[in-house]
Amino acid sequence: MAYFGTEEIPSLPGDLDLVTFGQRLRHLRRTRGMTLSDLGERVGRAPSQLSLLENGKREPKLSLLTSLSQALGVSVEELLSRQPPSRRAQLEIAVEEAQRDPVYQSLNLPHLKVGKRVPNDVLEHIVGLYDELKRRSVKPTATPEEARRANADLRRQMRERGNYFEAIEKAAQETLDAVGYSGGALSQGQILSMVTHYGFTLRYVQDLPRSVRSVTDTRNRRLYLKRESLGMHSPRTILLQTLGHFVLGHGQPRDFADFLRQRVEANYFAAAVLIPESTAVPYLQGAKKARDLSVEDLRDVYSVSYEMAAHRFTNLAYRHLDLVCHFIRNDETGIIYKAYENDGLIFPTDDTGAIEGQRMCRYWSGRQVFASPDRFSIYYQYTDKPNGTHWCVAHVDPSREKNFAITLGVPYKESRWFRGRETTNRTQSNCPTGECCVRPPAELAARWEGQVWPSARAHSHVLSALPSGTFPGVDETDVYTFLERHAEE
């Protein structure tokens, strides 16, 4: 400004909105009853040049701005105002902008010239249609098919590595070393030391947005958590999962597959910290030697959920115990929510190879456990399947809000290492290939077929399209509002 001496000539704003500017210019010219030629004459420019300005296709020079403001009898500031002059002008701007959008242009419609005689309600209509077109064209993060494919892909990688991730084990061990962990279940104090070790502070709040388990303010390095237990997602598990993203150097997820991989890795990190390889492996090897392997002991020694203990077992089994195994989490109706195998178990799949959302065999232990006299006790079973017999242990974790069965299974010959191998429970299953339980028994079907109308319960969270966004399912407005609220504390 100083270069202009005492004259109050504003410099051209760097972020001048050319479309708004053009609309204001046209509006001012028309309300003064001038044609493009009239105005052109007064400022010494060709009408075509002014037309380019009005259409937002050219940036005005500062000198031209001054002459335009004089010709129109307004100040330069008013000419440059970012406020569109009227609803009419707003609509014209909106229609103009819409027509520049590639989504709009892909419709191959002829350019609509918004003349004076196009009524406002027509413009309102076009703007309304365009907004909806835009909304529908925003690609969701993943279609159910994409999500399932990403999931199937990840499971294949897990199987290939025996569900053991060396780099994450190493990161977990470094974290444990940093706080002087020496054995047993981790104390709350040790977990808090980990948070401090990585330069974070922890805040417990009551107003955490509903769509998240935790929020991290990376600018102020603050972790926000709610002090409550959600089944296996106890506060310390959530805390370690959150910390895991930073310890493992995760960036913003590129796509759904990346989001999924990061989540699996963070969960792995949390489990590897809570059930450390360094102490859990000798413990499990001792139990195997004593032929007394059991998931519930692992759960009790490390004070974790049954699900986490069973899942952690799959991480260490192949690498350190020379065992192949499988893991399933399913609900009461037999729908599979999570599954892993490297022991040859054949899961039901859809045509993308996905297992989640499929219903597993009625005779598998994860479904039989719900029918057992005490569904919350540990349930053991042998199951004869088309490609061999498995021994499984299943348990319904009573601490969860919804009843899920957790199954850990091994091929028949490996049952000798496990507690519960003497069970007399035994079923036969031909699923998913042969005639088994998918179709009802012929006699029953004959009596009822065609005389029933069941109304299905939707499994929305397994099967529906995933919500869009960088972090699928997270309400970003809620999260930002939340951070605003707490940032000054």
Binding residues (CB under 5 A) for Zn ion: these are 361, 429, 431, 436-437
Q: Is 74 exposed, middle or buried (0-12, 13-18, 19+ CB in 10 A)?
A: middle
In this complex, which beta carbon is closest to Zn ion, that of residue 175 or of residue 429? 429
Cis amide bond preceding 432, omega within 30: yes
Nearest in space to 71 (alpha carbons), one of 29, 11, 30: 29
Q: What is the DSSP string of 128-188?
A: HHHHHHHHHHSPPS--HHHHHHHHHHHHHHHHHTTT--HHHHHHHHHHHHHTT--SSSPPH
In this complex, which beta carbon is closest to Zn ion, that of residue 267 or of residue 365? 365
Between CA 285 and CA 292 the distance in angstroms is 10
**Sheet containing 201-205: order of strands:** 201-205, 222-226, 214-217
CB of 405 to Zn ion, least distance (A): 16
CB 462 within 8 A of CB 144: no
CB of 156 to Zn ion, least distance (A): 24
Q: How many CB atoms lie within 10 A of CB 453?
A: 5
In this complex, which beta carbon is closest to Zn ion, that of residue 241 or of residue 381? 381
In this complex, which beta carbon is closest to Zn ion, that of residue 270 or of residue 361? 361
Name the percent of the chain in helix, strand, coil, to the closest 5: 45, 10, 40
CB 364 within 8 A of CB 392: yes
CB of 359 to Zn ion, least distance (A): 9
In this complex, which beta carbon is closest to Zn ion, that of residue 438 or of residue 487? 438
Between CA 385 and CA 347 the distance in angstroms is 11
In one-letter notation, the amino acid at residue 408 is L
CB of 347 to Zn ion, least distance (A): 12
In this complex, which beta carbon is closest to Zn ion, that of residue 86 or of residue 427? 427
Nearest in space to 311 (alpha carbons), one of 341, 289, 345, 356: 341
In this complex, which beta carbon is closest to Zn ion, that of residue 126 or of residue 437? 437
CB of 178 to Zn ion, least distance (A): 49
User: Where are the extended beta strands (E) located within 195-279?
Assistant: 201-205, 214-217, 222-226
In this complex, which beta carbon is closest to Zn ion, that of residue 46 or of residue 346? 346
CB of 159 to Zn ion, least distance (A): 23
CB of 437 to Zn ion, least distance (A): 3
CB of 428 to Zn ion, least distance (A): 9
